[in-house]
Amino acid sequence: MLSLPHLMQCRVELSQIDPTLGNLDANLAMHIAQARSALQRGAQLVLFPELSLTGYFLRDQTPEVALRVEDARLQPLRELSREVTLGFGFVERGSDERLYNSYALFEDGRVIGIHRKVHLVTYGMFDDARDFAPGEDFRIVESRHGRLGILICEDMWHFSAAWLHFLAEADAIIVPSASPGRGIRAGGEEGLHSARVWNRLQDAMALLFQTWILYVNRAGSEDGLIFSGGSRVVDPFGEETARLPLLETGSLSCQVDSETLRRARVATPLRRDEKPQLVAAEIARICGQRGP
Amino acid sequence: MNRLDIQCDLAERMLVQFLRKEAGKFGFQRAVLGLSGGIDSALSAALAARAFGPEKVLGVMMPYRTSNPSSEADARTVAAALGIATRKVDISAMVDGYFAQVPTADRMRRGNAMARSRMIVLYDLSVEWKGLVIGTSNKTEILLGYSTQFGDSASALNPLGDLYKHQVFQLARHLGLPECVLEKAPSADLFEGQTDEAEIGHSYRDLDALLFEMVDERRSEAELIERGFAPDFVRSIARRMALNQYKRMPPVIAKLSERTVNHDFRYLRSWGH
């Protein structure tokens, strides 16, 4: 799997939309319209946020809006993907009626990969694990644009998830999110505290794992929870190359390339010097002593 | 610099967007709210005026015959400064009509009836005005339960519910509200000479500081006392918060069936919108 060439040279569009809660038809129409206009702007990869087809705080609507990835309603997106690679979030109906918070990549008229959110966020205002089953792996998706890792929102808060994509030589990590903005205290840096923390996390992961980070968050509100937007692209040196404003809908277009990856990895060969076998042995030892 | 200080421009942006978005989902572009002459309703009105446009906001003045006349004057000053529409509905006949049949009611019951009469007026005028009722309860009073259930606490959208009183003042100043509401002592104006701080028994400064540490910072009783809050103050406010939880909840439903509203029938208000 690691033998495939890295051919990344791609115009990415991040689509910071405001989906309607539980209204698949309206959201699907929005996806199609956004993707078409992105295509006209020259985009090759269009990314939508977490649960972009359904909205986020679904609660009892979760099973009502669930789809299998083969569902005929997704046909227009499959068709569009012949011209532009699409990433979007949806409630996936799996076997045994298990529901997943999933993110699919469509390319060349077919599904090239699905990631099921592993780290369901179930604390504070969040209750993911009540409605969703957790995903069970972190796998790279082979796209014509390169090797893509997907981490859905809370997945990004677990260093190990991004580290696995680093080991698998991801060219870019896509981070779809539905993060409500919070923390408006004065006296420090300006802006939303939650958005600043997210930015720090993305910068650090990009730097440590020498990969492009494509963070696509949503806007709008569901009841009183106001999604913070602020989607951005961070390069493999950990530097921000493009960003969208906080709180508002919008889209940004950004060139992502393998040349920058190469330069970062030559300058600091972190993957070469990583010691996964040693780490695996240490993990086995620690888990053996303390449990998983 | 106070620990409770907020970034006002950001709060304004989020609250204006919240009002516009959450009302718009249900086809509303207009708002109605009670304008008491106090700072909370002035701030809600200012945010609503920015969200919907001043001409789409109705500020309703609802004096009772014992209300301080300066309250109405201050409400008019606020409305004029914001350019919003106003309407006056005297609630004396409503309240007195009821208490003519129940003459023994004490001051608290009368105060509650006034607050609930105002709710009746607002919800009725919301039909005529085709606007949602915007709330004016701040975080301090919600946590303390310093409000009348189904009275001043009733609204469709409340932009102030996550702002402590200190932050209400800060945002009101930021939005340039008239001096008359920034300067006077907060009062429910249900009886003569009433002030919030005298009635609650503590200053807003102390209440906000304690509630912030207790709720936002999740400090334990021992930590709060160690940080200098008087033990009696900490315990009485914790007790008060718990006692008044019922005011923050929808009515409690006894579960009998397999699926019950508010227990395992879980949908957001934004359901399908």
Mutate to test the interface with B, among A65, A184, A190 (most CBs of B within 10 A): A184
- Distance from the Cα of A21 to chain B's closest Cα (Å) equals 5
Which residue from A187, A222, A247 is facing B5, i.e. has the nearest CB? Answer: A187
How many C-beta atoms lie closer than 10 Å to residue B132's C-beta?
A: 22
CB atoms within 10 A of CB A277: 8
Confidence check: pLDDT of A48 > 90: yes
Q: Is the minimum CB–CB distance between A192 and chain B shorter than 8 Å?
A: yes
For residue B117, CA distances in Å to A155, A243, B191 come to: 51, 50, 15
CB contact under 8 A, A247 and B273: no
Chain B residues in contact with A23 by the CB 8 A cut-off are 272-273
The closest CB to that of A184, out of B7, B265, B270, belongs to B7
Mean pLDDT of chain A: 95
| Secondary structure element (H or E) that encloses residue A280, with its range | helix A276-290
Residues 6+ apart with CB under 8 A from B248: B142, B145
| Of A58-62, B109-113, B127-131, B188-192, the least confident | B188-192
pLDDT tens figures, A58-115 = 999 999 999 999 999 999 999 999 999 999 999 999 988 899 999 999 999 999 999 9
Tell me, yes or no, whether B93 lies in a domain. Answer: yes
Q: Which residue range is the domain that position B141 belongs to?
A: 8-185
Q: Which two tokens stand for residue A42?
A: 């020259």
How many of the other CB atoms lie within 10 Å of CB of A92?
Answer: 23
Amino acid B194: pLDDT: 85
Q: How far apart are CA A188 and CA B114, in angstroms?
A: 43
Complex ipTM: 0.93
Is A3's pLDDT higher than 50? Answer: no
Inter-chain touch A186–B1, beta carbons under 8 Å: yes
DSSP A135: P
Q: Name the helix (H) or strand (E) containing A283.
A: helix A276-290
User: Stretch B105-109: mean pLDDT, rounded?
Assistant: 92
Across A193-215, average pLDDT: 97
Judging contacts by C-beta atoms under 8 Å, the chain B residues touching residue A27 are none
Tell me: the pLDDT tens digits for A167-197?
999 999 999 999 999 999 998 889 999 999 9
Best of A16, A18, A20, A21 to disrupt the B interface by mutation (most B CBs within 10 Å)? Answer: A21
Tokens encoding B10: 């950001």
Query: Does residue B27 lie in a domain region?
Result: yes
- What is the Cα–Cα distance from A8 to A261, expressed in whole angstroms? 9
Torsion of CA A234, A236, A241, A244, to 10 degrees: -10
Cβ contact A223–B266 (<8 Å): no
Mean pLDDT of A255-261: 94
Residue B193 confidence class, pLDDT cut points 50, 70, 90: confident
- Helices and strands in chain B: count of H runs, count of E runs: 12, 4
Q: What is the dihedral of CA A68, A69, A70, A76, to 10 degrees?
A: 120
* Predicted pLDDT at A6: 58
Q: Residue A189 has what pLDDT?
A: 87
User: Nearest CA of chain B to the CA of A140: how many Å?
Assistant: 34
Question: Which of B1, B14, B272 is the closest to A226 by Cβ?
Answer: B14
**Domains, chain A, ordered by start:** 9-290 (3.60.110.10)
Contacts of B10 in chain A (CB under 8 A): 184, 190-192
- Any domain includes B39: yes
Contact B14 A220 (CB under 8 A): no
Q: How many CB atoms lie within 10 A of CB A130?
A: 11
Of the candidates A29, A34, A41, A19, the one whose C-alpha atom is nearest the C-alpha of residue A255 is A41
Residue B152: pLDDT band (50, 70, 90) is: very high
How many C-beta atoms surround the C-beta of residue B73 within 10 A?
A: 13
Determine, yes or no, domain membership for B127.
Answer: yes
Flag whether B258 is in a domain: no
Is B202 within the bounds of a domain? no
Please check whether residue B14 touches A, CB under 8 A.
yes
**A181 to chain B: which residues are within 8 Å by CB?**
14
Domain total of chain B: 1
Cross-strand bridge partners of residue A212 = A172
pLDDT (tens digit, 9 = 90+) per residue, B160-180?
999 999 999 999 999 999 999
pLDDT over 80 (residue B190): no
Q: Is residue B259 part of a domain?
A: no
Give the pLDDT of residue B264: 94
Report yes or no: B21 at the A interface, CB cutoff 8 Å.
Answer: yes
At A1, the pLDDT band (50, 70, 90 cuts) reads very low
Any A CB within 8 A of B271 CB: yes
> In CATH, what number is assigned to the domain containing residue B105?
3.40.50.620
Cα atoms found within 13 Å of the Cα of residue A221, Cβ hemisphere only: 22
Query: Does the beta carbon of A23 lie under 8 angstroms from any beta carbon of chain B?
Result: yes
Judging contacts by C-beta atoms under 8 Å, the chain B residues touching residue A179 are: none
Q: Is B2 among the domain residues? A: no
Helices (H), A83-219: 128-131, 159-167, 193-209
